[in-house]
Amino acid sequence: MPDQEPLLRVEHLCQYFKAGSFVTKAVDDVSFDIRKGEVFGLVGESGCGKTTTGRSIIKLYNITSGNVYFKGVRICAGTQKLKEELKATKDPARAAELKEQIKAAQNDQKNCDKEYAAKRVEELKARYEPLLSSASGEEKTRLSAEYQNELRKAKNTRLVTQIQMIFQDPIASLDPRMTVREIISEGLVIQGERDKKVIDEKVYEMLELVGLVREHASRYPHEFSGGQRQRIGVARSIIMNPDLIIADEPVSALDVSVQAQVINLLDDLRERFGLTILFIAHDLSVVKYFSDRIGVMYYGKMVELADSDELFAYPLHPYTKSLLSAIPLPDPIYERKRRRITYNPLAEHDYTTDLPSFREVRPGHFVQCNEAEYRKIMAEIAAK
């Protein structure tokens, strides 16, 4: 991938949940970026924080701390840790600094749509004004109308609606009291579309894109199979013409044959619309097939991040090696010899004096390790 500004940038994301005095660190200091047009896989065992990361990015949760930037605009800014530090500090200078940081974070979240609209207006001016100055007659009238329409859209679009989510459970994520037409078109209606004919045509187009037919629009979710329900969820997300889709384990509840159909559908839509996808899953063979880069999570932390081929060829973190050793293959001879690697963090790591950090050990390959582990990994790489 050529160097470019990432479409999504996640910096030191923390998402903690409190129950009385007990704090669960569902996501703890996770950082990564996703470039435009790529599929970024996020893997790990159940409960490691993958889904919470996706929900935090799309603002279903108010993040505890960290920042999320989408198209260069800060859409999420955690202030809870800053507020706790402000409450505890007795240094007036530090208190004033913290207040400024909290205020800036709150303003960024409040004004992210305005900031993005201003950016889009400048981009549209740079694109259309030279064309308008050199055009004449009917061509100038057409370009002027197109320009005004694009300006209206830019000023009225909420930035976060350009991120859409496909949920894991194809049953629970669809309202049983709504028809498929109402489910798919809900986003358009919320954005202000009132022309029933336009809505219907758009819904029919989306249904056909995902492999369903127009007649399905008047039916209810209970009349469909699991794979068909998930296709409805895909149609609901792409009707909004998003730049980023967060696919939260979209195939884990489906049969193996249907999984392949849904994955191929997402791949086709990615090519057709130039989509960027955050693909959350725990099936590593699916992730390898579909993803350009992969991040591995364990207990709320990112432990390894690399290109897909690189990660499978040179896994460096003990947890990644354990995950890869669990992948079954349809080869009885290999399966007879396969040995599962068990990951025991207490035995593998000694972080009593030297705490770990996320370090780049090869170009684009990052591992969570301390200084001693880093030297060991570099020696392992040099020996290969």
Dump pLDDT digits (tens) for 363-374: 999 999 999 999
Judge if 226 and 333 occupy the same domain.
no
Angle at 236 between CA 31 and CA 278, to 5 degrees: 20
Residue 184 lies in a domain: yes
268 and 325 belong to one structural domain: no
In contact, 11 and 66? CB cutoff 8 Å: yes
Does the residue 139 lie in any domain? Answer: no
Is the domain of 231 the same as that of 302? no
Residues 232 and 209 in one domain: yes
- CATH number assigned to the domain comprising residue 12: 3.40.50.300
54-109 pLDDT per residue, tens: 999 998 888 999 999 998 888 888 888 888 888 888 888 888 988 898 888 888 87
Q: Is the pLDDT of residue 358 over 70?
A: yes
Local structure of 42: helix, strand or coil: strand
Q: What residues are paired with 306 via a beta bridge?
A: 294
For the range 215-219, what are the long-range contacts, defined as Cβ-Cβ under 8 Å and sequence gap of 24 or more?
216/180, 217/179, 217/180, 217/181, 217/184, 218/179, 218/180, 218/181, 219/179, 219/180
Considering the domain boundaries, does residue 46 fall inside one?
A: yes
**Is 96 among the domain residues?**
no
User: What is the per-residue pLDDT for 334?
Assistant: 81
User: Considering the domain boundaries, does residue 119 fall inside one?
Assistant: no
List, for residues 193-207, the tens digit of each pLDDT value.
788 898 999 999 999
β-strand pairing of 39-43 with 293-298: parallel
Model confidence over 234-261: pLDDT tens digits? 999 999 889 999 999 888 767 777 778 8
- Mean pLDDT on 124-140: 86
Q: Please give the Cα distance from 373 to 159 (Å, whole number).
A: 41
Instruction: Report residue 3's pLDDT band, with 50, 70 and 90 as the boundaries.
Output: low
21-to-14, 52, 78 alpha-carbon distances in Å: 18, 21, 20
180 lies in some domain: yes
| Residue from 280, 279, 341 nearest 315 by CA | 341
Residue 269 near residue 275 (C-beta atoms within 8 A): yes
Q: What is the predicted pLDDT for the residue at 374?
A: 92
* Rounded mean pLDDT, 212-223: 92
With residue 125 as reference, give the H or E element that holds it.
Answer: helix 92-134
Which two structure tokens, joined as six digits, stand for 23? 């704090």
Instruction: Quote the pLDDT of residue 1.
Output: 44
pLDDT at 4: 67
Is it the case that residue 17 has pLDDT exceeding 60?
yes
In terms of phi and psi (left: phi > 0; alpha: psi -120 to 50; beta: otherwise), the region of 367 is: beta
Q: Which of 246, 263, 282 is the last residue of a domain?
A: 282
323 and 358 in a single domain? The answer is: yes
For the beta carbon of residue 74, count every other beta carbon within 10 angstroms.
Answer: 19
DSSP 283-295: -HHHHHHH-SEEE
| Measured distance CA(312)–CA(305) in Å, rounded | 11
* Same-domain check for residues 302 and 252: no
Q: What is the average pLDDT score of the chain?
A: 88
CB atoms within 10 A of CB 114: 12
Kindly state whether residues 193 and 230 are assigned to the same domain.
yes
Count: domains in the chain: 2
Q: What is the mean pLDDT of residues 317-333?
A: 87
Q: Pairing mode, if any, of strands 163-166 and 276-280? A: unpaired
Nearest Cα to 42, choosing from 260, 339, 370, 303?
A: 303
Average pLDDT on 35-44 reads: 92
Do 266 and 296 reside in the same domain of the chain? Answer: no
**Considering 282, 309, 341, which residue would you say is the last residue of a domain?**
282
29 in a structural domain: yes
Q: Are residues 171 and 263 in the same domain?
A: yes
Domain interval for residue 320:
1-77+291-384
Cα angle 259-244-302, degrees, rounded to a multiple of 5? 75
Q: Are residues 222 and 171 in the same domain?
A: yes
- Same domain as 340, residue 315: yes
| Torsion sign over Cα 147, 152, 154, 157 | negative
Which of 276-306 are b and which e, b meaning 16 or more Cβ less than 10 Å from the residue's Cβ? bbbbbbbbbebbbebbbbbbbbbebbbbbbb
The amino acid occupying position 331 is: D
Q: Which of 239, 260, 282 is the last residue of a domain?
A: 282
Q: Are 298 and 269 in a shared domain?
A: no
Which pLDDT band, with edges at 50, 70 and 90, does 232 fall under?
very high
pLDDT at 2 over 50: no
**What is the percent of the chain where pLDDT is above 70?**
99
Is the predicted pLDDT of residue 352 greater than 80, yes or no?
Answer: yes
pLDDT at 5: 79
Residue 323 located in a structural domain: yes
